[in-house]
Amino acid sequence: MSISLFMSISLATYPSIGHQTKANKERQSEKPPLDLSSFLPHLLDLFSLLHSTMGLWFVRSRLAHHLGQKMASLGALQRRSWPSVSFLQLWNPLPSELVGGFSSNPINRWSDQRFASVKAESAAPVDDRCRYQVMDFPGGKVMFIPEMRFLAESPGERISCYRVLDDDGQTISGSSFQEVSKEIALKMYGDMVTLQVMDTIFYEAQRQGRISFYVTSIGEEAINVASAAALTIDDIVFPQYREPGVLLWRGFTLQEFANQCFGNKSDYGKGRQMPIHYGSNRLNYFTVSSPIATQIPHAVGAAYSLKMDKKHACAVTYFGDGGTSEGDFHAALNFAAVMEVPVIFFCRNNGWAISTPTTEQFRSDGAVIRGQAYGLRSIRVDGNDALAVYSAVHEAREMAIRESRPILVEALTYRVGHHSTSDDSTKYRPVDEIEHWRTARDPVSRYRKWIERNGWWCDDAESELRSNVRKELLHAIQAAEKMDKPPLAELFTDVYDQVPSNLHEQERLLRETIKQHPGDYPPEVPV
Amino acid sequence: MALRGLGRRISIGKRCFSSASEVEKPPRDGKPINLFSAINQALHIALETDPRAYVFGEDVGFGGVFRCTTGLTDRFGRNRVFNTPLCEQGIAGFAIGLAAMGNRAIAEIQFADYIYPAFDQIVNEAAKFRYRSGNQFNCGGLTIRSPYGAVGHGGHYHSQSPEAFFCHVPGLKVVIPRSPQQAKGLLLACIRDPNPVVFFEPKWLYRLAVEEVPEHDYMLPLSQAEVTRQGSDITLVGWGAQLSVLEHACDEAAKDGISCELIDLRTLIPWDKETVEASVRKTGRLLVSHEAPVTGGFGAEISASIAECCFLRHGLQLEAPVARICGLDTPFPLVYEPFYMPTKNKVLDAIKTTVNY
């Protein structure tokens, strides 16, 4: 399978620049997949042709840069609306960094993709290498040039986004993707629906005061489930907190979810953490911790261990767009590149870090662009397209393990729910923007259309599934609610492998106090 | 001069460290080596005895800026002993992930002064890893080594003693050795302890402290203080390089007829309160001394704990307020270092004041 050269130029609305999302009508213009091999015979000709016009190019590019800046000020819509490139425009021998402008240089579009072709090599024209002096410098040869050219702050064209299913759930013609069996396809759908039902009911349970806190994954069901489906159970997951679907896919039961949210004695975390801080040793899913991005470097360390043990597995870590601003993100990408470890960095770019939009989070073109700066292979994928997420992660995993290298996946999506139950996102973003993503861009119904079209799914199956999950979950919640809390003794265990003397002493004192003032303490915790 | 004095002191004073009352493994066939060589021996043994042990950090590949990792790359290869990018939070985060997979991750932070970028990883991640998962996961194989403390010319950023920050964190162990023999045994114990440990090495002693160190593999117990000198009038508690200063003060005090009991705390958390308490019950007086600033230093915790348990309880009592001779509450100053430091005479004066209270 080669997903590498597929190109789809979707003019999808995306809220990272400006907020025109709901205003924009979607337009799509798909290109058939391009095959590098069919191009190669043309390359030499193109080299000479374009080299002879290089001076012109440079002048043009400065003009274009100027124009580009003006255009940029007109907003994101214009930038996204640049006409799709023609076949010829796709190849330009100028290294992208030599051109300081916006979209005048289509190679940006190309070079983003060339990593996907494993053999991709230097783009510097042979002639230039003869004309200019070249210095050996750590990292490779560097060419001296007489012109003073600053690297542009942006590659111009935004990095395109891999997609398989269009908004109607039809596979885009010519798209290449990983085949999914009926069985896997239906389990994916079942888990996405389960995640939706879970979110609805747990959210309600929090509103009723039965659990203290909850975080939904609405809008990111495809990311959750499809990425998990593309992994194996031996792959080690270091989650943020909006990926319970990964755990669901791996076999965490609704009862196990409920036990954690209620912090009862069957919660593996022994009631010590807030709801949604799931973890499972059995399922290779490290326990969620609240701080943002701290898990990313852990995944690199774990991947190093997998590499040393020669395991056929990788580490996978999830985080959001906000997480990419944390130092741990940068540290982890750099470490992973330097140490050449099999790890997948999965960025859920959902547009919002609580109330902070991506425009106030970073100036780069999302997260994907940063992979290259650190020496990572990267891909941007439509996070609301389950098949695209599945295919991208499947391929990323293959490359990560086979070549022992880190891969960055950025999935474009939208946090349809509030940040958490402590948040009201309508205070800082328009309701119709949320509505647009909840309905027109819903990843679950888009994927449903695809399985229906395959004849694998129908309305009856749908209502049966939803009703079964609902019943099972309500039962799980009742059972979890009735169960005792973990005993008091567990307050003091697991700080260290053994309870040290100061904690023994503190436990003794606490028990004396409880005897004196039993009414001060929650009765559901067995003393 | 002062440096050489300290070095000699440890050399000469080695008998104190292996007094007959100590049942820990006494030196056998030991050769006199300095502290960095003792650390180096411990790392060799750690890597030799456990194929899942890794040593890494900034510049460790060529032997480290203090030579503690000399020869390890040649012996064990670049997969097990390697440089990392210059990023402390990355080192700590990477180390946690490595340890969480069942490895012994021995990470070096080049100076304790530079450990703060890794603070979140150490405090929020390593320390809570076991607890928050209900013991489903742990990063107990993690040991973070870092040189700490004054060195005579280190100024703000090559002199700090940040141990107290980490002593406030349940889930961590903090260990500081006073001599080569101790360093080797304690470091091996830390590496093999199933909990994350921050191991601060007194950089002043790397070259100056020379002591006979057994060549074999041995460990010294964690969370056990050591009474290095028996006495009856006052108890002195310290750790790391400060032990030498306290030894000097004890000798001087003895000339005035004051009998000091000296305790090396060795493990700061979880600390051995029983040993200190038993000593104070005997002497009735306590002096705590460390290089870190006095306010909020770990000496404050010891003082408060001993005041709680020894003030007029069980028929025994403190006969004087607890004395603290520590660093000043200033950033660590370059030119003023001799003024900042908790020197022998500051300690000696406090011993006399406390005994004569």
With cut-offs at 50, 70 and 90, classify the pLDDT of residue A154.
Answer: confident
A289 and A232 inside one domain: yes
Facing A495 at nearest CB: one of B84, B96, B171: B171
pLDDT in tens, A37-48: 444 444 444 443
A337 and A245 inside one domain: yes
From CA A315, how far away is CA A304, in angstroms rounded? 9
Chain A segment 87-116 residues within 8 A of B by beta carbon are none
A505 and A456 inside one domain: no
Dihedral (CA of A462, A466, A469, A475) sign: negative
pLDDT in tens, B172-196: 999 999 999 999 999 999 999 999 9
Q: What does the CA dihedral A37, A39, A41, A47 come to, rounded to 10 degrees?
A: -130
A349 and A459 inside one domain: yes
- When the pLDDT of each residue in chain A is averaged and rounded to a whole number, the result is 83
pLDDT in tens, A306-324: 999 999 999 999 999 999 9
A425 domain residue, yes or no: yes
A154 is known as an active-site residue: no
| Whether residue A188 has pLDDT greater than 80 | yes
Q: Looking at residue A103, what is its pLDDT?
A: 36
Could you say which DSSP state residue B126 is in? I
User: Angle at Cα B304 formed by Cα B298 and Cα B307, nearest 5°?
Assistant: 140
A507 domain residue, yes or no: yes
Q: Looking at residue A132, what is its pLDDT?
A: 86
Q: Which chain B residues are Cβ-neighbours of A332 within 8 angstroms?
A: 90, 93-94
Q: At what angle do helices A254-262 and A182-207 cross, to 10 degrees?
A: 20
Beta bridge partners of B197: B143, B173
CATH number of the domain that residue A329 is part of = 3.40.50.970
Q: Looking at residue A156, what is its pLDDT?
A: 86
Quick check: A306 and B101 CB within 8 A? Answer: yes
A474 and A503 inside one domain: no
Q: List Cβ neighbours of A473 (8 Å cut-off, separation of 6 or more).
A: A197, A198, A201, A254, A258
| B197 vs A115, residue with greater confidence | B197
- When the pLDDT of each residue in chain B is averaged and rounded to a whole number, the result is 92
Chain A segment 251-290 residues within 8 A of B by beta carbon are 267-270, 272-273, 277, 279-281, 286-287, 289
Residue with tokens 């080594």: B145
Quick check: A494 and B79 CB within 8 A? Answer: no
A256 domain residue, yes or no: yes
Q: Looking at residue A29, what is its pLDDT?
A: 39
A1 domain residue, yes or no: no
A373 and A472 inside one domain: yes
Quick check: B136 and A301 CB within 8 A? Answer: no
pLDDT in tens, B312-346: 766 668 999 999 999 999 999 999 999 999 999 99
Strand ranges inside A212-349, DSSP E:
236-238, 315-320, 343-349
Select from A123, A147, A168 the last residue of a domain: A123
In angstroms, how far is CA A526 from the centroid of its own chain? 42
- ipTM given for this complex: 0.92
The pairing of strands B260-264 and B234-238 is: parallel
A166 domain residue, yes or no: no
pLDDT in tens, A477-500: 999 999 999 999 999 999 999 999
* Contact yes or no for A162/A3 (Cβ under 8 A): yes
A81 is known as an active-site residue: no
Could you say which DSSP state residue A270 is in? T
With cut-offs at 50, 70 and 90, classify the pLDDT of residue A125.
Answer: low
| Whether residue B70 has pLDDT greater than 50 | yes
The pairing of strands B226-229 and B210-213 is: unpaired
With cut-offs at 50, 70 and 90, classify the pLDDT of residue A165.
Answer: very high
SS (H, E, C) A147-167: CCCCCCCCCCCCCCCECCECC
* Contact yes or no for B202/B152 (Cβ under 8 A): no
A198 and A230 inside one domain: yes
Residues A239-270: b if buried by 16+ CB within 10 A, e if exposed: bbbbbbbbbbbbebebbbbbbbbbbbbbbbbb
Select from A123, A146, A174 the last residue of a domain: A123
pLDDT in tens, B106-132: 999 999 999 999 999 999 999 999 999
| Whether residue A86 has pLDDT greater than 80 | no
Select from A99, A123, A147 the last residue of a domain: A123
Radius of gyration of chain A (CA): 26
A2 domain residue, yes or no: no
The SS3 call for residue B143 is strand
A284 and A382 inside one domain: yes
B100 reaches A (C-beta below 8 A) = yes
Active-site hit among A419, A425, A433, A436: A419
A209 and A322 inside one domain: yes
A15 domain residue, yes or no: yes
Mean pLDDT of A296-312: 98
A129, A166, A276: which is closest to A213 by C-alpha?
A276
A153 domain residue, yes or no: no
Residue with tokens 């798909």: A30
From CA A449, how far away is CA A386, in angstroms rounded? 12
Could you say which DSSP state residue B124 is in? I
A379 and A292 inside one domain: yes
Q: Looking at residue B30, what is its pLDDT?
A: 83
| A154 vs A242, residue with greater confidence | A242
| Whether residue A345 has pLDDT greater than 70 | yes
| Whether residue A50 has pLDDT greater than 60 | no
Facing B270 at nearest CB: one of A236, A308, A500: A500
**Which domains does chain B carry?**
2-213 (3.40.50.970), 226-355 (3.40.50.920)
Q: Looking at residue B28, what is its pLDDT?
A: 59
pLDDT in tens, A346-376: 999 999 999 999 999 999 999 999 999 999 9
The SS3 call for residue B66 is coil
From CA A93, how far away is CA A52, in angstroms rounded? 11
| Whether residue A120 has pLDDT greater than 50 | no
Residue with tokens 């009592």: B317
Mean pLDDT of B76-103: 98
Q: Looking at residue A284, what is its pLDDT?
A: 98
pLDDT in tens, B259-278: 999 999 999 999 999 999 99
> Phi, psi at residue A25, to the nearest 5°?
-85, 140
From CA A427, how far away is CA A429, in angstroms rounded? 6
Strand ranges inside B214-330, DSSP E:
226-229, 234-238, 260-264, 267-269, 286-293, 323-327
**Range of A274's domain?**
182-482
A247 and A357 inside one domain: yes
CA atoms within 13 A on the CB side of A30: 16
Lowest mean pLDDT among A100-114, A252-266, A361-375: A100-114
pLDDT in tens, A512-521: 999 999 999 9
A506 and A476 inside one domain: no
| A292 vs A6, residue with greater confidence | A292
With cut-offs at 50, 70 and 90, classify the pLDDT of residue A57.
Answer: very low
Q: Which chain B residues are Cβ-neighbours of A280 within 8 angstroms?
A: 136
End-to-end alpha carbon distance in chain A = 59
With cut-offs at 50, 70 and 90, classify the pLDDT of residue B10.
Answer: very low
From CA A124, how far away is CA A135, in angstroms rounded? 14
* Contact yes or no for B90/B128 (Cβ under 8 A): no
- Number of domains making up chain A: 3
Q: Looking at residue B100, what is its pLDDT?
A: 98
Q: Looking at residue A113, what is its pLDDT?
A: 38
The H helix count followed by the E strand count for chain B is: 15, 14
